[in-house]
């Protein structure tokens, strides 16, 4: 049963990811990306890590993709412009350029001697375990990270502001 | 670990009799929820017409059935018989998919929404996050509908829907976090259980900040179901009927059912988070009912659904009372008013919770407040500071707006 679910989620995620980079209409790409994110969340759920899974749906598939779609609609780019057709020689050239990298990557993966991951704790990926780690063991790291986010936020406001006086 | 018991059971017990059991349980819940959603939607549509009619000193539907109760059924049959039109130049695949996405987003919410102590499909230990997550997926259906229709009004509607989503989700998320802090859990069942006892144990009365959080959540939830005064995506006086202008027949009907189901979902969530869920709010009655599991679930379901329906009625009341606000006003309200207020309430509620703890008369709770008097006094001080500070700030904010200055200029 696990195997079946894994292959369903994995193939949907990869298929939707491929659609996201091949479709021409920007909104189609965005929606395929949503599907891909939801399938990834399904994989997280299957690993019994519900919290990352829910965050995946809520933040990426929900909030961020709605923002992306919002931007796409506001820009309203002209879709399927015939002059922007992908040229065949370009595709062939890029595939040939890709082959050495792919060979390198596959070789490294095949020859690497990665340790077999130990079984995770039963509370892995639950809200409680992440919460106690985040606010117990790693409180100060968390606070420093939140400072970083705050700095990014202030920077965003500063950039969005038209006049600086 | 209480997590998605159903799916866990599904994955870990692939033994004999597994498939029939799985199909049986899934089918029972799916049929039950579908029937509930359809009947509730039919009832709400009828109620909406009656409420609007009575607010406008009319009678509303009176012909089909006593007081027109069967009017929606007749309308539903009409929708079923209507021609299904896909406009020329539309994105056919997305056009067909959009109503399904919108409906599924709402329908999935019922997976974690409890009806009674045991009447819940999955008591997720992050139930409220789940609802927030699928809520934003529903919006994607609405956006896709407008975009796929190849119609300017529809596109305007879905741009507005996207704007609305990015605006209301932030105050709503802050309200969720505040409730989680006060209830001490993310599970919806856990939230209800933290509100047992008398009705002053309900989270809305738990501390002085919670009523503000409740109102803030309620406003955001109106925006989530695209109800007036936030019905900008379908604003029928400006955009024909917004994102579903081009939809006809049952595709439109599915949007309609999804909207009314969403009204129930957000109202039931408000009841679960703030208004005691399935508890009647009278401790002896609840204690007596809790003796029998059957009775507890039956009474619990009736109480919860009644409370939710009352909140849905409130939504209708508001719709036929308030005018629609502009898009910039909606963004101003959500991002510049409700977010700061929500933040103040979050900090205040967290402080209050840390100092005062939980009420002493919660049934079967070991966590008693250390110094209730100290807690109450400090909480009162917090409340006064927040109120005075908030008042000064709101006044400043209102004076800064253009309409205020215009009004003053004229007079």
Q: Which pLDDT tens digit goes with each residue over A23-38?
A: 777 788 888 888 898 8
Residue A69's closest CA among B213, B352, B165, B228? B165
Asked if A122 has any chain B CB less than 8 Å from its own CB, the reply is: yes
Select from B321, B337, B362 the last residue of a domain.
Answer: B362
Q: Any idea of the CA torsion for B161, B163, B166, B168, to the nearest 10 degrees?
A: -70
Tell me whether 0.85 is exceeded by the ipTM: no
The answer to whether residues B286 and B142 belong to one domain is yes
The answer to whether residues B259 and B120 belong to one domain is yes
What is the distance of C-alpha B357 from the center of its chain? Answer: 28
Q: How many residues does chain A have?
A: 165
The answer to whether residues B224 and B78 belong to one domain is yes
> In what helix (H) or strand (E) does residue B176 lie, and over which residues does it extend?
helix B152-183
Put simply, the answer to whether B129 touches A55 (Cβ < 8 Å) is yes
The answer to whether residues A66 and A2 belong to one domain is yes
User: How does pLDDT run across A65-90, given as a tens digit for each residue?
Assistant: 888 887 887 776 555 555 556 667 77
The answer to whether residues A133 and A65 belong to one domain is no
**A29-36 long-range contacts, CB within 8 A, separation 24+:** A30/A65, A30/A68, A30/A69, A30/A72, A31/A69, A31/B94, A31/B140, A31/B144, A33/A65, A33/A68, A34/A61, A34/A65, A34/B137, A34/B140, A36/A12
Q: How far apart are CA B288 and CA B113, in angstroms?
A: 24
Residues B298 and B280 sit within 8 Å (Cβ to Cβ)? no
The answer to whether residues B126 and B185 belong to one domain is yes
Domain harbouring A47, CATH code: 1.20.120.1200
The answer to whether residues B380 and B338 belong to one domain is no
Model pLDDT, residue B357: 61
Q: What share of chain B is helix, strand, coil (3-state, %, to 5)?
A: 70, 0, 30
**Segments forming the whole domain that contains residue A71:** 1-78
Nearest CA in chain A to B128: A54
A35 part of a folded domain: yes
Tokens 């705050």 sit at which residue?
Answer: A150
Q: What is the pLDDT along chain B (411 residues), one digit of tens a residue?
A: 344 555 555 555 555 455 666 677 777 788 888 888 888 888 888 888 888 888 888 887 888 878 888 888 888 888 888 888 888 877 788 888 888 888 888 888 888 888 878 777 777 778 888 888 887 778 888 888 888 888 888 888 888 888 888 888 889 989 998 988 888 778 888 888 877 777 777 777 777 788 888 888 998 888 888 887 888 878 777 887 778 888 887 888 888 888 888 889 999 999 988 888 888 877 777 778 778 778 888 888 888 899 999 999 988 888 888 888 888 888 888 888 888 889 888 888 888 777 766 555 444 444 444 334 444 555 566 667 777 887 887 777 767 666 666 666 655
| CA dist list (Å): B386 to B200, B211, B213 | 22, 13, 13
CB proximity list for A34: less than 8 A, separation 6 or greater: A61, A65, B137, B140
The answer to whether residues A59 and A129 belong to one domain is no
The answer to whether residues B341 and B404 belong to one domain is no
Buried b (16+ CB within 10 A) or exposed e, B89-103: ebbeebbebbbebbb
Residues B156 and B224 sit within 8 Å (Cβ to Cβ)? no
A18 part of a folded domain: yes
**Segments forming the whole domain that contains residue B211:** 3-362
CB proximity list for B151: less than 8 A, separation 6 or greater: B87, B245, B246
Q: Where are the alpha helices (DSSP H) in B291-338?
A: 293-319, 327-331
Asked if A33 has any chain B CB less than 8 Å from its own CB, the reply is: no
Asked if A51 has any chain B CB less than 8 Å from its own CB, the reply is: yes
The answer to whether residues B153 and B189 belong to one domain is yes
Q: How far apart are CA B383 and CA B379, in angstroms?
A: 6
Put simply, the answer to whether A123 touches B1 (Cβ < 8 Å) is yes
Select from A48, A78, A108 the last residue of a domain.
Answer: A78
| CA dist list (Å): B101 to A31, A53, A126, A156, B193 | 11, 20, 28, 33, 32
For the entire predicted model, the pTM comes to 0.79
A97 part of a folded domain: no
Model pLDDT, residue B406: 64
| CA dist list (Å): A88 to A93, A144, B391 | 9, 50, 65
The answer to whether residues B54 and B73 belong to one domain is yes
Q: With beta carbons under 8 A apart, name residues in chain A contacting B343.
A: none
CB proximity list for B212: less than 8 A, separation 6 or greater: B341, B345
Say how many CB pairs under 8 Å bridge A and B. Answer: 86
Q: Determine the residue among A46, A50, A60, A68 to mutate to test chain B binding: the one whose Cβ has the most chain B Cβ atoms within 10 Å.
A: A50
The answer to whether residues B305 and B400 belong to one domain is no
Model pLDDT, residue B363: 41
The answer to whether residues A73 and A127 belong to one domain is no
Query: Count of domains in chain A?
Result: 2
> In what helix (H) or strand (E) does residue B322 lie, and over which residues does it extend?
none
Query: Count of domains in chain B?
Result: 2
Q: Determine the residue among B1, B11, B129, B133 to mutate to test chain A binding: the one whose Cβ has the most chain A Cβ atoms within 10 Å.
A: B133
The answer to whether residues B402 and B338 belong to one domain is no
The answer to whether residues B399 and B342 belong to one domain is no
Handedness of CA B262, B264, B267, B271 (dihedral sign): negative
CB proximity list for B266: less than 8 A, separation 6 or greater: B221, B224, B225
């Amino acid at each position: 049963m696990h195997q079946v679910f894994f292959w369903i989620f994995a193939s949907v995620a990869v298929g939707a990811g491929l659609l996201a980079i091949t479709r021409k209409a920007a909104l189609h790409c965005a929606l395929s990306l949503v599907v891909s994110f939801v399938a990834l969340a399904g994989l997280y759920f299957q690993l019994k890590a519900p919290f990352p899974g829910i965050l995946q749906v809520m933040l990426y598939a929900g909030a961020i993709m709605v923002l992306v779609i919002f931007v796409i609609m506001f820009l309203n780019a002209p879709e399927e412009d015939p002059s922007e057709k992908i040229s065949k020689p370009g595709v062939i050239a890029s595939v040939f350029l890709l082959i050495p990298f792919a060979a390198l990557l596959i070789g490294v993966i095949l020859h690497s001697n990665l340790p077999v991951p130990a079984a995770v704790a039963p509370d892995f990926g639950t809200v409680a375990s992440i919460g106690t780690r985040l606010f117990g063991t790693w409180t100060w790291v968390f606070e420093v990270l939140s400072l970083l986010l705050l700095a990014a936020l202030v920077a965003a406001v500063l950039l969005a502001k038209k006049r600086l006086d | 670990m209480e997590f998605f018991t159903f799916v866990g059971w599904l994955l870990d017990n692939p033994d004999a009799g597994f498939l029939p059991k799985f199909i049986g349980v899934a089918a029972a819940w799916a049929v039950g929820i579908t029937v509930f959603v359809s009947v509730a939607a039919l009832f709400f549509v009828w109620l909406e017409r009656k409420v609007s009619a009575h607010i406008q000193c009319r009678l509303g539907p009176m012909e089909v059935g006593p007081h027109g109760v069967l009017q929606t059924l007749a309308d539903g049959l009409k929708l079923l018989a209507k021609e299904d039109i896909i406009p020329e130049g539309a994105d056919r695949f997305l056009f067909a998919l959009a109503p399904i996405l919108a409906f599924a987003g709402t329908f999935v919410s019922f997976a974690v929404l409890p009806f009674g102590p045991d009447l819940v499909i999955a008591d997720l230990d992050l139930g409220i996050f789940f609802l927030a997550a699928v809520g934003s997926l529903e919006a994607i259906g609405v956006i896709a509908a407008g975009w796929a229709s190849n119609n300017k009004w529809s596109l305007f509607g879905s741009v507005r829907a996207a704007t609305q989503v990015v605006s209301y989700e932030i105050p709503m998320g802050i309200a969720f976090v505040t409730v989680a802090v006060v209830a001490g859990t993310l599970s919806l069942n856990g939230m209800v259980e933290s509100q047992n006892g008398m009705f002053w144990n309900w989270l809305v009365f738990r501390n002085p900040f919670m009523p503000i959080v409740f109102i803030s959540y309620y406003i955001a939830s109106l925006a989530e179901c695209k109800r007036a005064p936030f019905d900008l995506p379908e604003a029928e006086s400006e955009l024909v009927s917004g994102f579903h202008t081009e939809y006809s027949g049952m595709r439109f009907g599915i949007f309609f059912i999804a909207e009314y189901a969403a009204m129930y979902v957000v109202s039931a969530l408000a009841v679960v988070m703030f208004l005691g869920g399935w508890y009647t709010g009278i401790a002896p009655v609840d204690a007596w009912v809790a003796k029998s599991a059957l009775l507890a679930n039956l009474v619990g379901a009736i109480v919860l659904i009644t409370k939710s329906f009352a909140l849905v009625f409130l939504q209708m009341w508001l719709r036929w009372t308030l005018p629609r606000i502009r898009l910039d006003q909606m963004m101003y309200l959500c991002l510049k008013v409700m977010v700061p207020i929500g933040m103040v309430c979050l900090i205040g509620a967290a402080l209050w919770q840390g100092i005062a703890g939980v009420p002493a008369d919660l049934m079967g709770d070991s966590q008693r407040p250390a110094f209730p008097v100290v807690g109450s006094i400090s909480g009162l001080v917090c409340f006064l500071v927040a109120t005075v500070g908030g008042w000064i700030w709101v006044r400043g904010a209102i004076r800064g707006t253009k309409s205020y200055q215009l009004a003053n200029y004229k007079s």
